[in-house]
Structure 1
Amino acid sequence: MKLVFKLGIISLLFLAGCGNDQAGNPTDPESLYNKSCVGCHGADLKGASGPAVTNLADKYTEDELQTLIMEGKGMMPGNLLSEAEAQKVSEWLLTK
């Protein structure tokens, strides 16, 4: 009985370590955008209460866009993403 219990605990710990953390802590740029930006900029990137975020490469360098994401501008709040997350999102947005 003790062996079955120990194996059950070990199995649960192993499975917990193999879990996908995407729902609670997304790491890919599109999921980060969906978590923090989609409400204002829209799922299609064409804007909602905030402006469209397409063709940003025509307006911003990667550093400028990352700074904008980190600091915010006008009604857009800053610090919704970490610096590393903002870098991923800015790189991704510049390809859209």
Structure 2
Amino acid sequence: MKKWLYGIICVAFLGFITACGGGDEATEKDTTPTKEQEQTADAGDGDALFQQSCSSCHGGDLVSGGAPDLDKVGSKYSKDEIEEIIVNGKGGMPGGILTGEDADAVASWLSEKK
């Protein structure tokens, strides 16, 4: 009887560990742009690029996401500082989400938010 009970506990424990571990594949966001996003987000359109790549964390209105609000980021950082943050990351924000002309366009657009 004890072996049977011990077996059930082990199986339940294994199931618990398996359910709680991993899962990275399911939680990763698909950042591949749709055809519509590709058409609206060119290198010169900071707003569209922001909506495509940044709004999921910072909110489409710059304040409703879980990441820091960006509605007045231009009064705190210069365009170059914002671009450096976009390219290299800062705090919990990973770097490399946007690079090159895209990072420059979003930094320029955000630097106007004062």
Match of 2:109 among 83, 92, 95: 92
Task: Give structure 1 regions of 4+ aligned residues with deviation exceeding 3 angstroms.
Answer: none
Change (3 A) 1:58 1:23: closer
Partner of 1:80: 97
Unmatched 5+ stretches in structure 2: 1-34
Q: Which residue identity is paired with 1:79?
A: G
2:79 touches 2:110 (CA, 8 Å); kept in 1? no
C-alpha distance in structure 1 between counterparts of 2:92 and 2:110, whole Å = 19
Partner of 2:65: 48
Q: How many equivalent residue pairs?
A: 76
Superposition TM-score, scaled by structure 1 size: 0.71
Unmatched 5+ stretches in structure 1: 1-20
Matched, 1:24 2:44: no
SS for the counterpart of 1:23 is helix
2:74 touches 2:111 (CA, 8 Å); kept in 1? yes
Superposition TM-score, scaled by structure 2 size: 0.61
